[in-house]
Amino acid sequence: MAEGTARFDYSGKAVLVTGGSSGIGLAIARGFLGAGAEVTITGTKGGAADYPDDLSAFTFRQLDMRDNPALEALAAEVPRLDVLVNNAGTTFRGAEALLPENVEATIQINLNAVYRLSHALHPKLKDSGGAIVNIASMTSYFGSPRVPGYGASKAAILQLTKTLGALWAPDGIRVNAIAPGWIDTKLTAPIQQIEAIERPIIERTPMGRWGRPEEMAGTALFLASDQAAGFVTGVTIPVDGGFSAI
Ligand SMILES: NC(=O)c1ccc[n+]([C@@H]2O[C@H](COP(=O)([O-])OP(=O)(O)OC[C@H]3O[C@@H](n4cnc5c(N)ncnc54)[C@H](OP(=O)(O)O)[C@@H]3O)[C@@H](O)[C@H]2O)c1
How far is the centre of ligand 1, averaged over its atoms, from the C-alpha of 110 (Å)? 9
Residues 6+ away with beta carbon under 8 Å from 140? 154, 155, 157, 158, 179, 236
Q: What percentage of the chain has pLDDT greater than the value 70?
A: 98
In a domain, 4, yes or no: no
Q: Which of 44, 68, 169, 166 is nearest to 117 (CA)?
A: 68
Cα–Cα distance, 184 to 209 (Å, whole number): 10
Q: Is 186 in the pocket of ligand 1 (CB under 6 A)?
A: yes
- Active-site pick, 10, 51, 115, 150: 150
pLDDT in tens, 96-108: 999 999 999 999 9
Q: Is 165 in the pocket of ligand 1 (CB under 6 A)?
A: no
The total number of structural domains that make up the chain = 1
- Tallying the residues shown for the chain, one arrives at 246
pLDDT in tens, 184-204: 999 999 999 999 999 999 999
In a domain, 9, yes or no: no
Minimal-distance CA residue to ligand 1 atom 6: 137
Q: Provide the pLDDT for residue 6.
A: 59
In a domain, 246, yes or no: no
Q: Provide the pLDDT for residue 7.
A: 79
Strand 59-62 to strand 174-180: parallel, antiparallel, or no bridges (unpaired)?
unpaired
How far is the centre of ligand 1, averaged over its atoms, from the C-alpha of 115 (Å)? 17
In a domain, 1, yes or no: no
Interior angle at CA 133, CA 53 and CA 231, nearest 5: 140
- Judge whether residue 4 has pLDDT over 70: no
Enter the pTM of the model: 0.98
In a domain, 66, yes or no: yes
Q: Is 23 in the pocket of ligand 1 (CB under 6 A)?
A: yes
- Judge whether residue 8 has pLDDT over 70: yes
CA distances from 61 to 10, 20, 117, 132 (A): 21, 10, 14, 19
- Domain housing 101: 14-239
Q: What totals of helices (H) and strands (E) does the chain contain, helices first?
A: 9, 7
In a domain, 5, yes or no: no
In a domain, 3, yes or no: no
How far is the centre of ligand 1, averaged over its atoms, from the C-alpha of 170 (Å)? 31
Cα–Cα distance, 218 to 53 (Å, whole number): 21
CA distances from 144 to 39, 91, 138, 141, 238 (A): 33, 12, 9, 9, 17
Q: Is 238 in the pocket of ligand 1 (CB under 6 A)?
A: no
CATH number at residue 64: 3.40.50.720
In testing the pocket of ligand 1, which one of 44, 108, 117, 140 has its CB within 8 Å of the most ligand atoms? 44
CA distances from 66 to 105, 110, 113, 144 (A): 7, 9, 7, 22
Tell me what the pLDDT averaged over the chain comes to.
97
pLDDT in tens, 220-245: 999 999 999 999 999 999 999 999 99
Q: Provide the pLDDT for residue 3.
A: 63
Torsion of CA 55, 127, 163, 117, to 10 degrees: 40
Cα–Cα distance, 67 to 113 (Å, whole number): 8
Q: Provide the pLDDT for residue 94.
A: 95
Q: Provide the pLDDT for residue 56.
A: 98
Cα–Cα distance, 48 to 125 (Å, whole number): 26
pLDDT in tens, 30-85: 999 999 999 999 999 999 999 999 999 999 999 999 999 999 999 999 999 999 99
Assign 2 a pLDDT band (cuts: 50, 70, 90): low
- Judge whether residue 15 has pLDDT over 70: yes
Query: Which atom of ligand 1 is the closest one to the Cα of 91?
Result: 47
CA distances from 116 to 66, 130, 183, 230 (A): 11, 17, 27, 25
Please indicate whether residue 51 is annotated as part of the active site: no
pLDDT in tens, 203-225: 999 999 999 999 999 999 999 99
In a domain, 171, yes or no: yes
Q: Is 63 in the pocket of ligand 1 (CB under 6 A)?
A: yes
Minimal-distance CA residue to ligand 1 atom 5: 180
Q: Is 45 in the pocket of ligand 1 (CB under 6 A)?
A: yes
